[in-house]
Structure 1
Amino acid sequence: MTWSEMQPLLEQACWDTLYMVGWSALIAVVGGLPLGVLLVLTDRGGVLQNVVVNKVVGQIVNIGRSMPFIILMVALISFTRWIVGTSIGPEAAIVPLAIGAIPFFARLVETSVREVDGGLVEAVQSMGGSTWTVVRKVLLPEALPSLISSATTTIVALIGYSAMAGTVGAGGLGDLAIRYGYQRFETELMWITVAILAVVISIIQFAGDFAARALSHRGRSSATSRLRPVRGTKRAEEPGPVAKVAEASEAP
C-alpha cells in the first residue's frame, strides 16, 4: 500500500479517534467531577457526612471501574443503540467510553480533593461559608493542579479504550490497525498507526504535565510572596483562599 492510499485512511482514523476521545473525555469530566467531590464530602468527617450515600456511590464507582472495557461495550450495545440509534461507528463508541471513564475519573478526583488541607475547609466553615462555597472557593482551586493531572491520565486511558473500541467497528486508529494491519497484513500501516498513537499520547501527557506544573508553581509562588515579601519593596499581599472567601461573603 502506497502513502497516497494510506493518507486518507489515516486522516479519517485520526479524526474518528479525536472525536471519540474528545466527547467522552468531556462527559467523563462533567460526570466524574461531582461524583468525586461527593465521595469526599459525604465521607466520615466530611462537610456533608453521610455514610449510606458514600457507601452506595462508592460501590457504584467500584463496579464501574472493575468492569473490563471490552465487556462493558458488549453489555451496553442495546443501550447504545437506544441512545444514538446505532451500535457501530464513532458516535456509538462515545457511550461506553464515557460510561467507563466516569467512575475512573471520579476516583482520581476523590484522591486529588482529599489532598487539600483540611484547615482551609475548617476556616471557611468557621466564617459561615456554605458547602458550595467550600467546594468552589477551596476544594476545587486548591486541587486544580492534581485535577489537571487526573484529567490527563483519563484522556490517555480513553485513547487506549478507543483503540479497543475499534475491534467492534467503532472506527478510529484501533480499527484501522486491526482491519488493515492485522487482517490484511499491512504491517507498515499498522506500525504507522502505533507511532501516531504514541505521538498523540506523548503530546497530551506533556501538555497535561506542563499545565499542572505551571498551576502548582503559581500556587507556591503566591504562597511564598504572601509569607516572605521581598525586602525593600512594598508588595500587596495576594489574598489566599480563606481571605478570598471572606471578601466574597462581605461583598454586597
Structure 2
Amino acid sequence: MNDEKWTLITPELFLKALGETLQMLGVSLVLGSVLGVIIGAVLALTRAGGVLENRPISLGLAVVVNLIRSLPFIILLVAILPFTRLLVGTSIGVWAAIVPLTVMIAPYIGRLVENSLLEVPRGVIEAARSMGASPLQVFWRFMLPEARGSLILAVTIASVGLLDATAMAGTVGAGGIGDLALSYGYQRYDGFAMVITVVTLIVLVQGIQLLGTVVARRYRRR
C-alpha cells in the first residue's frame, strides 16, 4: 500500500520537525530561564521591603515585564523582526524563532521566579541578614535553595507555554511541529498529519509536566 494515499508525512519529515521543535524549546528555555531568574531576582529584591529595596528600578523593570507579557506572541514575533535580523541575520527558521521565544518567555519566567522567591518565609531572610550575609548571599544561599521546589514547578509551567509558542512560530516559517501541521495538515488536507502533530504535542506536554512534578516533589522542602 502506498503511504501517499493516506498521508504525505514521511518519518524523515516528522523527525526533522520534531527536532526543530525540541531545539526551539530547549535553547529558548535555557536562555529564557537565565534571564528570567535575573529578572525575578531583581523584582523580588528591589521591591518595597526587599533586601535591596529600590523603587525606581523595581517599577521600571515591572513596567517592561508587563509590557512584553501583554503582547500576544504572534504580534511580538513580528514587532521585533528587525532585532531578530540584527542578532541572527534572518527572520525565518529555527534560530530566528528562538529570539522572540526567548524575549517572550523570559519576563514570564521572571514573574514566576519573583512569586516563588516571595514565598520564602520572612524569618529565613531576617535570620540570614542577622548573620551578616550580603544581599547576594541572602539570595544565592538562602532564598534560592528555599524556593527551589517552587522554581522547578514555575519552569515546568513556562515550558508548556513555550511549547505552545513554538507551534505558533511554525506558522511563520520557523519549522517544527507547528509548520508540519500547517503545511501538511491544513494546507494539504492531510488528516493524519494533523492527528500526529496533535498527539505529539500532547505527549510532549504530558512528559514535561510529569518530569517537572517529579523533580519538584523531590526537591521541595517539607
TM-score, normalised to structure 2's length? 0.96
CA distance in 2, matches of 1:136, 1:110: 14
Q: Does 2:105 correspond to 1:80?
A: no
Deviation, 1:77, is 1.2
Out of 30, 33, 47, the position equivalent to 1:29 is 33
Q: Which runs of 5+ in 1 are unaligned?
A: 221-252
Give the aligned partner of residue 125 of structure 1: 129
Q: Superposition pairs for residues 1-252 of structure 1, below 5 Å?
A: 1=4, 5-216=9-220, 219-220=221-222
Paired amino acid for 2:105: A
Deviation, 1:156, is 0.8
Give the aligned partner of residue 225 of structure 1: none
CA distance in 2, matches of 1:140, 1:127: 17
Note if contact 1:65-1:104 (Cα within 8 Å) is conserved in structure 2: yes
How many percent of aligned residue pairs carry the same amino acid? 46
Aligned residues: 218
CA offsets per residue over residues 109-156 of structure 1, 9 Å max, x none? 011000000101101111111011101111100000000001111111
- Three-state SS of the structure 2 residue aligned to 1:153 is helix
Note if contact 2:76-2:104 (Cα within 8 Å) is conserved in structure 1: yes
CA distance in 2, matches of 1:133, 1:188: 54
CA distance in 1, matches of 2:75, 2:9: 34
CA offsets per residue over residues 203-247 of structure 1, 9 Å max, x none? 01000001011112xx32xxxxxxxxxxxxxxxxxxxxxxxxxxx
Paired amino acid for 1:184: R
CA distance in 1, matches of 2:180, 2:81: 21
CA separation of 1:130/1:179 partners in 2, compared to 1, >3 Å: closer, same or farther? same
Note if contact 1:6-1:189 (Cα within 8 Å) is conserved in structure 2: no
Deviation, 1:82, is 1.2
Q: Which has the higher contact order (CA 8 A, sep 6+)?
A: 2
Deviation, 1:6, is 2.2
CA separation of 1:125/1:169 partners in 2, compared to 1, >3 Å: closer, same or farther? same
Q: Which has the larger radius of gyration?
A: 1
Q: Which runs of 5+ in 2 are unaligned?
A: none
Note if contact 2:7-2:193 (Cα within 8 Å) is conserved in structure 1: no
